[in-house]
Amino acid sequence: MSATMSLPRQVVKKFLAKPQYEGEGAVVRRTIGRPELKYFDPFLLLDEFSISAPAGFPDHPHRGFETVTYMLEGAVTHEDFQGHKGTIHEGDMQWMTAGKGIVHSEMPAAQGTQKGLQLWVNLSSKHKMMEPRYQELQSKDIAEVARDGVKVRVIAGEALGTQSPIYTRTPTMYLDFTLNPGANLQQLIPSTWNSFVYIIEGEGHFGSTMSSSITAHHVLVLGPGDGVEVLNNSSELLRFILVGGEPLGEPVVQLGPFVMNTQEEINMTLEDYRNCTNGFEKAKHWQSQIHD
C-alpha cells in the first residue's frame, strides 16, 4: 500500500487465552467471547482449537453470523445438512456464512492433534436471514507475500499490495503474519474499524517499539488509529493474525450458536430449529456421517 500511517494504534487491552473444553472433548483457547471481551463488534468469538479423535464438534446449528475456520496443523472434516462436505487441511481456510441456518459437524480428519483458529463474524440485521454460502481457499490459493523479513498470508482484505478474493459481507481484514527475528511491520487498518491481534507463536512488540514484549496465546485489542506497528526483537519467529472489521453498531442478542438482534428473534430461531422450519427444514432427518 502506498499510503502511510499517521496514527499507529496502541494496545489498549490484552489477556492470555487459557485452555478450556468445548464441543465434545475439544480444547480451545478462547479470547473474544470470554467475559473479558464478550463482544468486539463485529466479532463474536475467536478460538484457537486443538482436537484429537474422538474429540471434536459433532452436529450443531448456527444462525445469524459467519464462521471462519483456518487450519494451523492437521485437518478437519466438515459436513452440513445441505450435503456440503470436505476436508480443511493445514493452511486451508473456510468462510462459512450460516445466514438463516446451517447444521453441521467439524471433526478431526487425521491421527494426532489438529489445530486451527475459528473466528465468528457477526452479520448485519439485513443479512442475518440470507441463504447460507461458503467461500473456501486451499492453502496453495491463499495469496502469500514476503518482503524484508515479513511474510503475510492474505486471508481477507489487503496487505503488502496483495488482495484476497474473499468477499466479506461485513467488511473484514484477516492477515496471517510471520516476522523473522529483527523484522518490523507497518500495516494500515481503516481508521473506523475495530481491530485486534492474536499471537500464535513467538513474541513481539505491538503498537510501539518501546512497549513491552508480548508472548504467544495473548489477544491484543488495538485502540484508535489508522494502522499498527510491530517489531520482532527476539531470536525466534513471531507469528500472529491481525483481524479488523467495520463495526455494525447494532444490538446483539446471543444464545449459544444463534446470534440475532432481539430476544423475539432468538425465540423465533429456537422455534424454527425445534420445528425444522424457516431454514432448518433439512435438519429433520439429517445426521452427519462423521458424528461420533
Q: List the one residue out of 256, 251, 284, 285 whose CA is nearest residue 269.
A: 256
Question: Which residues, at least 6 apart from 92, have a Cβ–Cβ distance to it below 8 Å?
Answer: 70, 71, 136, 137, 138, 139
Look-up of cell digits 496487505 = 159
Ligand-binding site membership of 62 (annotated): yes
Ligand-binding site membership of 246 (annotated): no
Q: What is the C-alpha separation between 43 and 91, in angstroms, rounded?
A: 22
- Residue type, position 169, single letter: R
DSSP assignments along 165-231, one per residue? ----SS-EEEEEEEE-TT-EEEEE--TTSEEEEEEEESEEEES-TTSPPEETTEEEEE-SSSEEEEE
Ligand-binding site membership of 291 (annotated): no
Return the SS3 of 232.
coil
Q: In Å, how far from its chain's centre is CA 137?
A: 14
Q: List the one residue out of 160, 234, 242, 236 whose CA is nearest residue 197.
A: 242
DSSP assignments along 121-149, one per residue? EE--TTTTTSPPEEEEE-GGGSEEEEETT
Sign of the CA dihedral running 161, 166, 169, 170: negative
Feature table: binding site for Fe cation = 60, 62, 104, 106
Feature table: binding site = 60, 62, 104, 106
